Amino acid sequence: MSLAVVVVAPTAMLAPAAADDATIVFGAALAATGRDAREGALTKDGYEFWKDYVNAHGGMKVGGKTYKVDIKYADDETNPQTAARLVEKFIDQDHVNFILGPYGSANSASTAAVVERKKIPMVEGNGSAEKIFSQGFKYTFAVLSPARRYLEGILEMALAQKDKPKTVAVVAANDAFSLEVAQGASDYAIAHGLKVVYNNKYPADTTDVSSIVSAIKATNPDVILNGGHLQDALLLQKGFKEQNVAARIFGYSVGPDTPDFRKTLGSVAEYVYGGTQWSPTAKYKGAAGFIGDSKTYAAEFEKKYGHVPDYHNAESTATCLAFQYAIQKAGSLDPLKVRDALQALDVVTFYGILKFDSRGINVYKPMAVNQIQKGNLVTVWPTGVQNAKPAYPTPDWAKR
Amino acid sequence: MEAFLQILVNGLLAGGIYAVVALGFSLVWGIMNIINLAHGAYVMMGAYIAYVLFSSFHLDPFLSIPIAFVVMFAFGYGIQRGAINYVVRAPILVTFLLTFGLSLLLVNVALLVFHGDIKGITTSYNGANFSLGNVVVPIAKLATLGAALAITGIMQIFLTRTKTGRAIRATSMDIGAAQLSGVRVAHLYGIVYGLGAGLAGVAGVLVSLSYSLQPTMGDPFIIKAFVVCVLGGLGSVEGALVGGLVYGIVDAIGSQYIGTGLSDAVALAVLLIVLIVRPTGIMGKATA
Amino acid sequence: MAATAPPSRVTRAGGITGNRTVFAIACGLMVLFLLVPLAHNGYLENLVRGVLMFATLAYGWNMIGGYTGYVSFGNVVFFGLGSFTSAALWQHFQQQNVLVAIVASCLVAVVFALVFGIPILRLKGHYFGIATLGLSIAIQEVIANIDWLGGGSGFTVRQIEPFQIYYYAMWGVCAASMAATFFVARSKFGYALVAIRENEEAAAILGIDATRMKVLAWAISGMMAASAGAVFAGANGFVDPPTAFAIDNNVFPIVMTILGGVGTAAGPLVGALVLTAINETLWTHFPQIHTLFFGAVIVLVVVFLPRGVLWLLSLRGGIAGYLASVKAYRV
């Protein structure tokens, strides 16, 4: 008896947030604590921006009826196990209509298994490892370009320069996302006649990369690429400076885009390239129903949150947009109908095209390349969206 | 050969930080038999003290070392008197859990105060270096190693030459006898734990020069402190220094020649072998 | 103030298996847990499956840390090995049978315990604890470098229908661990373990083959954790090294065992239930700061109830008795 009280009490205390008739409720398990707390907050801002925009513009019309939208959040502690449990709770306990994805590939993978079982569609914008989609899941969709494409743009740009690089060093954190980034980069390099002179990985929570820096220096590469996360990018870039490592290009999958990178490194961050899912200079003409161009999105976002949106913010907003257009097209909140509409989705937004292949991955959207020039983040590739020319090659450390 | 020398230098420089991190951990463990899982959180707090002083008053991190030490000493003293002393005689597990809870608490308070953003201290000498032949030596890391050596020396003098230091060592050998000769054990334990936290704070300041700041940044250092303590022998000041440097070098060589992905595994394999062959550490005395 | 150090026996409530009434209640709990899937509430099922998983891990820890007195800080290594065994069975042999996964994981755990147990169990006290912690971290890193085991990216595991199979499997693993603890504790083997904990040298003089007993205890402990890992891999649908070797799975079972009572047959289950309930309540009411509260709860419990919740039941002498026995730990 006492058991039943203990176990059920915490659950019973929750007022079941059963979606009332006029509200579409989404559930999102996002890290508020743990390693990805920062990225979790960026994701949440992206979601909230969309929610407030839609509600301020009269809500969503679905099948002749107008709905407000609401998003329930919970802290997944950067733990895939917790994320899965939370999503299950959203669906069974809170009866949310749909799931917005968590941050990170591992958490996306564990929650994908849950929504598949519950047959509730999930769109995510922050888990780009293709491994998530290798299981034939039918209810998970990702609006972002897959991990292996993160650094391709940098190589493509490098090959278009006058004095082309010849050798590449690739180093990655040992996790699903980073390894796919590195694999994609080295595959692309080899396919385009570049020589990969160094290809290695390090533990995901490393605190000292000086040995890796020494080893890369010994191979004297023209291009140095890293698949990893913000903390590793900071350590590596500092390490390159400390050991005077010269290269024409320093490129990172995650890092240069975040304001933290520039703030923390100061002048050491100059000339660094980063692959990016989206840039405020992107020139897409989005469909009606939401802010259609990147410039307005960036301005509105900055007005609200006090900083220019980075690509985590934008891809999170785009995650919600995929639902918005799919639900409107389905004309229903029925999970299966919305799933089918997502699979058939083909719409251009401020963030780029939203369209999924049979696995649920958005392979149709190109990546862009950013560079830090004089303390500012500018977009240098592809030429169609650039607002500055690439500053190539990177000069010696003494001249930065 | 040059490549090898560079790796040796890298390892030695990293080892200086590990030595300071391990020093406080080793004292607390060796003298009070407490495995202090909050040690990583204290390292983090030290780093944030340096950050706040640097960003608000442009105080150079090396100058904030004494401030971080004093603040963290007082904090640690308070924690020992206010909580740990209540269970210090309980089985080791109880203090293990207590410090684990403390660590959760402190990391999450830091998360509330500073948020999860990554912060860093960018000094004017950030990344500056000089070359010896083809071996590059980063100045900040060299200064860190110098600070580590100095702090170890000061601690050694404190423990062997001062009255309090001698009382601390006496208590760790025989608590009953120390009490009989008038040592206030509760106060003394406060000092020991304060020293541990203070040294962790100093380590945090040094770490902040080469590593970026995040509330969870201290976690990876706990396991390193473990390994260093075991390599050097518990509660021994010079042991922590030697252990730290050995660990740094083993880690650097291991990641170079066995695989960067396996650097922790290599260090831990060394740990296991040392433990099994010589359970009291390389420098340790033959006590149980 | 000249308190004498209390004997470690105090940490147990009642006899070698613990208080009988409490054990009966724990058995009742297990029966009740069998009914959970009938509620068709995935959230509740998930929550209780978590209780059962942590209880199983806690039983595993209790066997080596509680009964034998060898405080392991790295029992998650068995959980991780079990998870990866189960995931590899699916990935490479299309083997989805949960029972097969459990048996295979137990075999892996036993082999591992034999290979590493003989050298490591020679170490005493903290040194054993650190060696186990180091071992678990090292094995995690080694697995992260073996591509056949998914490397750093991990494996997805295809789940079988109906999903309740994982719930019942976890229940079965937990019930088996509980029963094993009960019977081991009453056996000659169990008394040998306690003798080793109280005084290993004296136990040896009594003719107890300490090394053999310790390795056996560690192997049993490992089998429990590995089976929990095997079921977890399927239930979670995804396994990578940080998930399988999560620090939570290492520390929570220890907290739970202490909360419920070290060296008892009911303690791990009770501790797992209480701690999960606390954590879930905090999480529901203080979503932003629940981990902070959780840390505070641990600190308070440790300072005020250093011998666990169930210890209160066997306490004599009311508040004075409580204060006297808490003060015994003070300096």
Amino acid at the residue C284: T
Q: Is B275 on the interface with C (CB under 8 A)?
A: yes
Q: Is C287 on the interface with B (CB under 8 A)?
A: no
The predicted-structure confidence for B122-151, as pLDDT tens digits, reads as follows 888 877 888 888 888 999 889 989 998 999
Min Cα distance C40 → chain B (Å) is 35
**The pLDDT value given to residue C12:** 41
Q: Which chains neighbour B (Cβ–Cβ under 8 Å, 3 or more pairs)? A: A, C
Determine the Cα–Cα distance for residues C55 and C5; give it in Å rounded to an integer.
Answer: 30
Which of C156, C158, C291 has the CB atom closest to A109's CB atom?
Answer: C156
Q: Which of residues 72-111 of B touch C (CB under 8 A)?
A: 83, 85-94, 96-98, 100-109
**Residue C140 binned pLDDT confidence (cut-offs 50, 70, 90):** very high
**The pLDDT value given to residue C255:** 85
The predicted-structure confidence for A65-88, as pLDDT tens digits, reads as follows 999 999 999 988 888 888 988 999
Contact C171/C52 with Cβ under 8 angstroms?
A: yes
pLDDT at C293 over 90: no
Contact C215/C111 with Cβ under 8 angstroms?
A: no
**The pLDDT value given to residue B99:** 92
∠ Cα B53 B57 B60 (to 5°): 65
Closest CA to B26 of B274, B245, B266, B192: B192
**The pLDDT value given to residue B283:** 57
Determine the Cα–Cα distance for residues A231 and A162; give it in Å rounded to an integer.
Answer: 33
pLDDT: which is higher, C322 or C274: C274
Q: Is B288 on the interface with C (CB under 8 A)?
A: yes
Q: Which residues of A224-256 are buried (b: 16+ CB within 10 A; e: fewer)?
A: bbbbbbbbbbbbbbbbbbbbbbbbbbbbbbbbb
- Which residues of chain B have a CB within 8 Å of the CB of A397? 127
* CB contact (8 A) between residue C295 and residue B108: yes
Q: Is A41 on the interface with B (CB under 8 A)?
A: yes
Determine the Cα–Cα distance for residues A10 and C281; give it in Å rounded to an integer.
Answer: 5
H/E segment holding residue A72: strand A65-75
**The pLDDT value given to residue A266:** 86
Determine the Cα–Cα distance for residues B34 and B26; give it in Å rounded to an integer.
Answer: 9
**The pLDDT value given to residue B274:** 81
Closest CA to C262 of C185, C160, C154, C175: C185
∠ Cα C252 C256 C260 (to 5°): 175
Closest CA to A85 of A29, A16, A152, A136: A29
**The pLDDT value given to residue A158:** 94
pLDDT at C14 over 60: no
pLDDT at A17 over 50: no
The predicted-structure confidence for A271-296, as pLDDT tens digits, reads as follows 999 999 998 888 888 998 999 999 99
Backbone region of residue A77 per phi and psi (left: phi > 0; alpha: psi in -120 to 50; beta: other values):
left
**The pLDDT value given to residue C2:** 35
What average pLDDT is seen over chain A?
A: 89
Closest CA to B118 of A235, A171, A172, A316: A235
**The pLDDT value given to residue A81:** 82
Strands A140-142 and A98-100: unpaired
- Which residues of chain B have a CB within 8 Å of the CB of A201? 260-261
First-to-last CA distance in chain C?
7
Cα separations in angstroms, C58 against C41, C240, C257, C268: 26, 22, 6, 5
What tokens were used for A41?
């907050």
Closest CA to C78 of C173, C212, C171: C173
Q: Phi and psi at residue B44, in whole multiples of 5°? A: -60, -45
**Rg for chain C (alpha carbons), in Å?**
20
* CB contact (8 A) between residue A38 and residue B118: yes
The predicted-structure confidence for A127-180, as pLDDT tens digits, reads as follows 888 888 887 899 999 999 999 999 999 999 999 998 999 999 999 999 889 999
**Residue C297 binned pLDDT confidence (cut-offs 50, 70, 90):** confident
Stretch A305-321: mean pLDDT, rounded? 92
Average pLDDT per consecutive 10 residues, chain B (288 residues; last block may be shorter): 85 91 92 91 97 94 95 97 88 84 92 84 84 87 91 92 89 80 88 96 92 87 86 84 91 81 79 76 50
Contact A35/A104 with Cβ under 8 angstroms?
A: no
Q: Is C138 on the interface with B (CB under 8 A)?
A: yes
The predicted-structure confidence for C222-249, as pLDDT tens digits, reads as follows 999 999 999 999 998 889 898 899 888 8
pLDDT at A396 over 80: yes
pLDDT at A11 over 70: no
Residue C134, number of CB atoms within 10 A of its CB: 27
* CB contact (8 A) between residue A242 and residue B136: yes
- Which residues of chain B have a CB within 8 Å of the CB of A211? 7, 10-11, 251-252, 255-256, 260, 263
Which of B119, B120, B261 has the CB atom closest to A174's CB atom?
Answer: B261
- Which residues of chain C have a CB within 8 Å of the CB of A33? 291
Which of A109, A134, A204 has the CB atom closest to C152's CB atom?
Answer: A204
H/E segment holding residue B244: helix B237-257
Contact C237/C62 with Cβ under 8 angstroms?
A: no
- Which residues of chain C have a CB within 8 Å of the CB of B92? 71, 125-126
Contact B155/B199 with Cβ under 8 angstroms?
A: yes
Strands A249-252 and A223-227: parallel
Q: Which of A31-45, A370-384, B10-24, B190-204 has the lowest mean pLDDT?
A: A31-45
The predicted-structure confidence for A293-302, as pLDDT tens digits, reads as follows 999 999 999 9
Strands A98-100 and A23-30: parallel
Question: B187: exposed, middle or buried (C-beta count within 10 Å: 0-12, 13-18, 19+)?
Answer: middle
- Which residues of chain B have a CB within 8 Å of the CB of A258? 118
Who contacts A156 (Cβ-Cβ below 8 Å, separation ≥6)? Answer: A188, A381, A382
Strands A195-202 and A167-173: parallel
- Which residues of chain B have a CB within 8 Å of the CB of C258? 93-94, 97
Which residue, among C32, C34, C43, would best test binding to A if mutated, counting the most A CBs under 10 Å from its CB?
Answer: C43
Stretch C212-226: mean pLDDT, rounded? 96
The predicted-structure confidence for B237-280, as pLDDT tens digits, reads as follows 888 999 999 999 988 888 878 777 787 788 788 888 887 787 66
What tokens were used for C147?
């591509």
Stretch C3-8: mean pLDDT, rounded? 37
Stretch C196-207: mean pLDDT, rounded? 89
Cα separations in angstroms, B27 against A124, A355, B158, C103: 48, 60, 13, 45
**The pLDDT value given to residue C7:** 39
Which of C2, C65, C127 has the CB atom closest to B275's CB atom?
Answer: C127
Determine the Cα–Cα distance for residues B82 and B89; give it in Å rounded to an integer.
Answer: 15
pLDDT at A19 over 50: no
Compute the CA torsion angle A221, A222, A227, A231 (nearest 10 deg): 90
Contact A333/A24 with Cβ under 8 angstroms?
A: yes
**The pLDDT value given to residue A164:** 92
One DSSP character per residue, C253-301 reads HHHHHHHH-TT-SSHHHHHHHHHHHHHHHHHHH-TTTHHHHHHHHHHHH
- Count of CA atoms in the C-beta half-sphere (13 A) of C169: 24
Which of C145, C296, C329 has the CB atom closest to B259's CB atom?
Answer: C145
H/E segment holding residue A73: strand A65-75
